Structure 1
Amino acid sequence: MAMKVKELAGLVGISVRTLHYYDEIGLLSPEETTDSGYRLYSNENLEMLQQILFFRELDMPLKEIKQMISSTSFDKQEALRQHQKMLLEKRSQLDKLINTVDKSIKHMKGEIQMTDKEKFEGFDFSQNPYEEEARERWGDKAVDESKAKVAGMSKDAQKIVSDIYIKLASIRNASPESEEAQKAIKEWYDCLNNNFGTYSPEAFKGLGQMYVDDQRFTKNIDQYGDGLAKFMCDAMGHFADANKN
């Protein structure tokens, strides 16, 4: 039985505007549009919407979802198996984070002692939650090159990234202009250029500003320690000003 857009939105729990937008970009078009302008969605539309929302739950950009489901080789059952696999991996990471929170509470109460490494178990920065926005700002080529570098990173390189964040978090109460802070932030500058693309000092400073201007970045970075985003922004700004060509 065909469903109108308002009925479908109510069933799924998303907005009518979202369904309209999916139609506008050709991601999910209704099976039929009546002479009166009503969008009517079929059972097949519902199945495809489920696929789309599974992909969105895994933070996949709409552009990539559209390319995938529009492919002649797209297999719904295989896609569901992949969804299941990735969701299980996501659940495993969340379990680790919950365990880290539990241990942190006990640590604060003095019931146990946590090592610095244990304080950050479960965090995963291999996936970029801002990829879609980055593509809009800097284009597909720059993002694809960056992702290729990330995919090719060795475990040693990934450990370097984690160690830099931990080091910066440990000195975040020092002056961002101090020798210690500038030495650590240079490690971050070199790490970005070696693994994620090409950053001029000016671009590096702009990135640091985004850490405080965009609350999503701030929240993500401050998981390592309250105030870390602001500290990194100030340290990156000072570093960039001191290293202008």
Structure 2
Amino acid sequence: MKVKEVAELFDISIRTLHHYDQIGLLTPKEVTDSRYRLYSEENLETLQQILFFRELGFTLKEIKKMMDSPSFDRKEAFTLQRKMLIEKRNKLDKMIEHIDKTLKHISGEIHLTNKERFEGMNMKLNQYEEEARCRWGNHSIDDMNLKLSRLSNEEQRDVSARWDRIFHHLASLRNLPTQSKEVQSAIKEWYDFLNENFSHYSLDAFYGLGQLYMQDERFTKNIDRYGKGLASFMCEAMKVFTNHHKRGHNDENHH
């Protein structure tokens, strides 16, 4: 398809398509001698995903980084985008419901407390957006491997040894409750290790990474080599760790 046809099909401007080409986000399959851009079926699928990501609030820079990742999977992305859109729809439905209640409150039909008036207005990043950023963004497996490759042989050995030690220790604690002091201490060591050796992991990113341990077969398979069920155990322990530290942070702010 020519650029004009693609622009009409997706209801976007030709200028937008030219811009996507210029930044390397969407390169046409072919450019004719007359400089006509020709888009393939695969190009159209890629554009569809770009527009979904845009609708979900990702910047072009973030989208390019995710789609350029060696681990990016088209089908996985569509599945994840569907989950994100459903969550967005549910959030919008709740907000519409709250507007309806607020209008009734204003007209005197019902009385709402302040808590009732403003609950449901949480604009927090949803878990699927965090997952996308984790899976194909700054905290991807490939990013970790790249940083490891930049270390000297001795540094790589030290990091690998500590990595193994942490996972063997966690595997030995699998029969304990995930909220126990021993397990949470070991999970904190993993959190500190990631932050010291790779890049800054917020509590949300750490939680998202834990979710990936169960959702991404590569993670599950590699982690369970240290002990059957370890990936699931760590996922739950990381969730407990995140919730506990978030509560602590909120309590500090409250005081």
TM-score calculated relative to the size of structure 2: 0.51
Contact 1:9–1:19, Cα closer than 8 Å, also in 2: yes
Whether 1:114 aligns to 2:112 is: yes
Mapping for residues 38-53 of structure 1, pairs under 5 Å? 38-53=36-51
Q: Deviations over 1:84-129 (max 9, x none)?
A: 111111111111101100000110111111111122223233249x
Provide the C-alpha distance between the structure 1 equivalents of 2:250 and 2:55, rounded to a whole number of angstroms: 25
Amino acid at match of 1:117: K
Match of 1:67 in 2: 65
Alignment RMSD, CA only? 2.7
Richer in helix (by share): 2
Structure 1 segments unaligned to the other structure (5+ residues): 129-139, 164-186, 188-245
Relative to 1, partners in 2 of residues 1:159 and 1:49: Cα closer, same or farther, differing over 3 Å?
farther
Q: How far off its partner does 1:69 sit? A: 1.1
Q: Deviations over 1:125-181 (max 9, x none)?
A: 3249xxxxxxxxxxx9xxx96x826656725756998x9xxxxxxxxxxxxxxxxxx
Structure 2 segments unaligned to the other structure (5+ residues): 127-137, 139-198, 206-241
Whether 1:148 aligns to 2:148 is: no
TM-score calculated relative to the size of structure 1: 0.53
> Structure 1 segments of 4 or more deviating over 6 A?
158-161
Amino acid at match of 1:44: E
Relative to 1, partners in 2 of residues 1:10 and 1:160: Cα closer, same or farther, differing over 3 Å?
farther
Relative to 1, partners in 2 of residues 1:160 and 1:91: Cα closer, same or farther, differing over 3 Å?
farther
Mapping for residues 1-245 of structure 1, pairs under 5 Å? 3-127=1-125, 148=202, 154=246, 157=249
Contact 1:31–1:41, Cα closer than 8 Å, also in 2: yes
Provide the C-alpha distance between the structure 2 equivalents of 1:156 and 1:96, rounded to a whole number of angstroms: 28
Q: Deviations over 1:206-245 (max 9, x none)?
A: xxxxxxxxxxxxxxxxxxxxxxxxxxxxxxxxxxxxxxxx
Relative to 1, partners in 2 of residues 1:87 and 1:157: Cα closer, same or farther, differing over 3 Å?
farther
Q: Number of matched residues?
A: 146
Amino acid at match of 1:110: G
Q: Deviations over 1:19-43 (max 9, x none)?
A: 1110000000100111111111010
